[in-house]
């Protein structure tokens, strides 16, 4: 049998019958949510805003050696500050999480504090100087700390974290610039040693091939040309002397010697005087000295030969013409010998110049390789010196805090009210859940109740018509009891409503102040 559709009067009757099934679960769940809202400790939040300022001195004058991006450097600093050692030091300094020290390990407490610290960047659209296009850039960031307990302790922890960020940024930038300067200085020393080694090799090579270097190639060519011209001139002189020698020998052969030795002896005395004079002014290696000595030896030999001839024949040459020609012949022969020696010496020099000229290309190739290596090393060294000076200036820039730096523009403030929990939301959720639970309980009881409450229901169940109905018999005592119960219900409802409003006002308006005062008193 299909049940009849329920009317508004049926719902009203259900509410009357199941009012306590509806009210009691709602009151219980609302009371539990109120107790939870009261029991949860307040969590305060304090935030610092830090501005990222560019360096004061233009980058065209001083180029910073810190190459990492702001976001990367922020994450690096954040990881250093979030290290276990740093956080344990802050926890011990401010006695944080004292209620958890006996329940959790140090690592768990540190991890809990890490979750309480939040870093958020603030970006803005700026125009890139290189491209001229707008792009997102990090201009500031916020550092937030959430903690239970005393508000001013949360504020102090937030300030300490912000100070650590500022100090760590300065320390990181100064360390990076110092490491850059140290690295460049070490590389300069290495290149200087290499440069000195190459200079030593070049000096040694130049000393070994001093006359074969490209710089003296033209000198060698000029010297060779001069030597060849001198040899040619001496060959002409040699030919002339040979012709004169033949002519004198022919003339001498046709003349009888007369007083020949007397002229040779005078010539010998004159040469000895001339040799003595030359030795006072020049060394034995001087050409005129050598030439005079050779002529003296020839005259002495001729005189000795003449004396032997005279002793054997018993006659003396007495022809002056013969003596003159013999003297000229001896002088020509001496000149001839001198020219031959000069030709030999000049030929030796010419061969040496040719050897130098032939060796110059090979020497030049090795010398150029050493010179190129020296020039490249010198260029690298000069570039490193320039970069080292720039790095020293950049280090001074960071040391004097004139470079990019962090500035606190909004320090952490004392939180006036808790960040969490949201007690109003908890109570409203409890109220909604309580009403839903009451409706659910009343609905379950109603739909599981098989009682017959009207003649229509009885007729529908039995399929028989209802002939008569007996009304409810109400005595005066029942009326009085009903009025008392209704009065008690109304009174209880009023008390619950007034008490709920009082608790609501107390929790929402005054509990935060109460907690803050309580925490300050406990801290003192």
pLDDT of residue 67: 46
> What is the band of 96 on the pLDDT scale with cuts at 50, 70, 90?
confident
**For 419-425, what is the mean pLDDT?**
77
Tens digit of each residue's pLDDT (9 = 90 or more) over 39-81: 778 888 888 988 877 665 545 544 554 444 677 778 888 888 8
- What is the DSSP secondary structure assignment for residue 5, as one 8-state letter? P
Tens digit of each residue's pLDDT (9 = 90 or more) over 182-206: 888 888 888 889 888 988 888 888 8
Q: CA angle 508-511-513, nearest 5°?
A: 115
Q: What is the distance between the terminal CA atoms of the chain, rounded to a whole angstrom?
A: 76
pLDDT of residue 314: 46
415-446 burial string, b = 16+ CB within 10 Å, else e?
A: beebbeeebeebbebbbebbbebbeebbeeee
Asked if residue 394 has pLDDT above 70, the reply is no
311-324 burial string, b = 16+ CB within 10 Å, else e?
A: eeeeeebeeeebbb
Dihedral of CA atoms 359, 360, 361, 365 in degrees, nearest 10, equals 110
pLDDT of residue 315: 44
pLDDT of residue 432: 87
Helix (H, G, I), strand (E, B) or coil at 355: helix
Tens digit of each residue's pLDDT (9 = 90 or more) over 233-292: 888 888 887 888 787 777 766 654 544 556 667 777 777 777 777 777 777 777 777 888
Q: How many CB atoms lie within 10 A of CB 293?
A: 15
Query: Highest-confidence range of 31-35, 368-372, 474-478, by mean pLDDT?
Result: 368-372
What's the predicted TM-score (pTM) here? Answer: 0.52
CA distances from residue 185 to 175, 193, 373 in whole angstroms, order as listed: 15, 12, 21
Percent of the chain with pLDDT over 70: 72
The residue ranking higher by pLDDT, 28 or 276, is 28
Nearest to 134 by CA among 146, 125, 122: 125
Tens digit of each residue's pLDDT (9 = 90 or more) over 341-384: 888 998 888 888 888 888 888 888 888 888 888 899 888 888 88
Q: How many CB atoms lie within 10 A of CB 272?
A: 14
């Amino acid at each position: 049998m299909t049940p009849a559709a329920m009317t508004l009067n049926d719902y009203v009757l259900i509410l009357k019958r199941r009012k306590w099934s509806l009210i009691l679960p709602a009151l219980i769940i609302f009371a539990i949510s109120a107790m939870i809202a009261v029991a949860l400790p307040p969590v305060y939040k304090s935030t610092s805003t830090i501005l990222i300022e560019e360096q004061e001195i233009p980058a065209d004058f001083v180029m910073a050696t810190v190459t990492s991006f702001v976001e990367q450097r922020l994450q690096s600093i954040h990881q250093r500050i979030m290290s276990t050692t740093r956080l344990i030091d802050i926890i011990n300094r401010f006695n944080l999480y004292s209620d958890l020290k006996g329940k959790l390990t140090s690592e768990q407490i540190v991890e809990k504090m890490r979750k309480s610290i939040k870093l958020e960047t603030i970006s803005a659209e700026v125009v890139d100087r290189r491209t001229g296009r707008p792009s997102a850039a990090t201009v500031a960031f916020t550092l937030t700390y959430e903690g239970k307990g005393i508000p001013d302790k949360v504020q102090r922890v937030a300030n300490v974290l912000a100070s650590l960020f500022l100090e760590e940024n300065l320390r990181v930038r100064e360390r990076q610039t110092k490491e850059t300067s140290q690295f460049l200085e070490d590389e300069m020393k290495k290149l200087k040693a290499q440069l000195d080694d190459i200079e030593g090799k070049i000096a040694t090579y130049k000393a070994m091939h001093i006359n074969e270097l490209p710089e003296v190639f033209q000198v060698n060519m000029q010297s060779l040309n001069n030597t060849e011209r001198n040899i040619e001139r001496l060959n002409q002189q040699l030919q002339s002397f040979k012709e004169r020698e033949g002519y004198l020998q022919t003339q001498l052969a046709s003349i009888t010697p007369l007083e020949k030795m007397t002229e040779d002896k005078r010539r010998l005395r004159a040469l000895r005087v001339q040799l003595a004079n030359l030795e006072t002014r020049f060394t034995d290696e001087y050409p005129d000295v050598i030439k005079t000595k050779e002529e003296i030896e020839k005259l002495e030999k001729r005189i000795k030969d003449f004396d032997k001839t005279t002793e054997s024949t018993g006659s003396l040459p007495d022809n002056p013409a013969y003596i003159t020609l013999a003297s000229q012949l001896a002088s020509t022969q001496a000149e001839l010998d001198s020219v031959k020696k000069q030709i030999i010496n000049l030929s030796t020099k010419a061969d040496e110049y040719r050897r130098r000229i032939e060796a110059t290309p090979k020497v030049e190739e090795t010398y150029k390789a050493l010179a190129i290596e020296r020039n490249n090393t010198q260029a690298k060294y000069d570039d490193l010196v320039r970069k080292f000076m720039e790095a020293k200036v950049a280090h001074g820039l960071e040391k004097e805090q004139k470079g990019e730096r962090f500035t606190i523009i909004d320090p952490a403030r004392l939180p006036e009210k808790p960040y969490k929990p949201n007690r109003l939301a908890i109570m409203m959720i409890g109220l909604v859940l309580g009403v839903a639970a009451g409706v659910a309980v009343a609905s379950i009881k109603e739909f599981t109740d098989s009682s017959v409450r009207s003649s229509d229901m009885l007729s529908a169940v039995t399929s028989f018509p209802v002939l008569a109905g007996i009304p409810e018999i109400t005595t005066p005592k029942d009326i009085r009891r009903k009025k008392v119960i209704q009065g008690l219900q109304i009174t209880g409802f009023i008390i619950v409503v007034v008490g709920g409003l009082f608790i609501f006002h107390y929790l929402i308006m005054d509990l935060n102040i109460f907690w803050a005062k309580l925490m300050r008193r406990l801290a003192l």
